[in-house]
Amino acid sequence: MKNKLTLKAVLAGSLLAVLAGPSGAMAAELNLYTTREPGLIQPLLDAFTKATDIKVNTIFLKDGLTERVTSEGDKSPADVLMTVDAGNLIDLVEKGLTQGVDSAVLTETIPASLRDANGNWFALSLRARAVYADKNVDLKEITYEQLADPEWKGEICIRAGQHPYNIALIGSYIAHHGEEAAEKWLEGLKANLARKAGGGDRDVARDILGGLCDIGVANSYYIGLMGSGKGGPEQEEWAKAIKMVLPTFEGGGTQVNITGAAVARHAPNKAEAVKLLEYLVSDDAQKIYAEANFEYPVNAKATVAPLIAQYGVLKPDTIDLAKGVSFRKKASELAEKVGFDN
């Protein structure tokens, strides 16, 4: 009996040794729920684990993140909630599924307009709602307001107005100019379309190459993905046919959306969750963001990928992201009212 007890003790000790880190402490880990494609963030998570010895268990949820966390309640294992859209991130906050974080690293690194005042969410990377243009078109600068000018009649390509990327843009327009002006702008933009609104942002580049339109609206990082060859030889040709211009609002900056994250309300590993967020805005991690997916860093000291940097310095709009998000419902209603996608 004594030998059996000794054997059990040895086995138990071996198991603890496996679970423990080099110092003998239990190995740390955290659980990440994300709507971002795993392949795009795995390099960041691997680097984080290497730097901290904290394991990241990733659960990818293309849809239904809010519903999943809500259904799990206070038993949810989620520590960090990551989304690829400011609206979805702020939805989590408004539904009480996040908690505030007090971190000097985060508040000193991320501009105030790109984080929640109470520490409930933080932007980790940026993508601009940009204008693609035929390389032969004499266009060096443009405002979002000018996209509705008659000079562009029949020359603009864009994806569906009801797509979240464009709803966010319309919401920001409302924040700047009000609903009446936004409706008039949408009518002018629709009148300038070269084809029915639809497809994807990369299709804008394809259609410019095909001569269907001279300019179009698309996210900034796609030109990097196409131009780098990551989208294949065909898309590389699309990228060669265009240039990118960073539009601004009159009296404002360029409309951006974010990849962002929050600490879950019932996070069982809060300390580790905060460490992950702090790591993701570090110089090293922001460099990985820029190189892996051609996004703009939120850390001003980080380097922008050359394929993107060649088009100038991004000056994000100064209107708080949350303000633009608050107009999403009205933006969708206006797009429907003017029949933008018809």
Known binding residues for Fe cation: 221-222
Quote the CA–CA distance of 191 and 156 in Å, as a whole number. 9
In contact, 213 and 155? CB cutoff 8 Å: yes
- Token code pair at residue 56: 């990241």
Per the DSSP assignment, residues forming a β-bridge with 216 are 132, 157
Per the DSSP assignment, residues forming a β-bridge with 25 are none
Spatial CA neighbour of 269 closest among 76, 66, 62? 76
């059996």: which residue's tokens? 4
Residue type, 135: K
Q: For residue 313, give the DSSP letter.
A: -
Spatial CA neighbour of 262 closest among 87, 83, 55, 120? 120
Spatial CA neighbour of 132 closest among 266, 297, 243? 243
In contact, 82 and 36? CB cutoff 8 Å: yes
Cα–Cα–Cα angle for 224, 222, 80, nearest 5°?
100
Label the pairing between strands 122-134 and 256-264: antiparallel
Residue type, 215: I
The annotated binding site is made up of 221-222
* Chain-centroid distance, C-alpha 34: 11
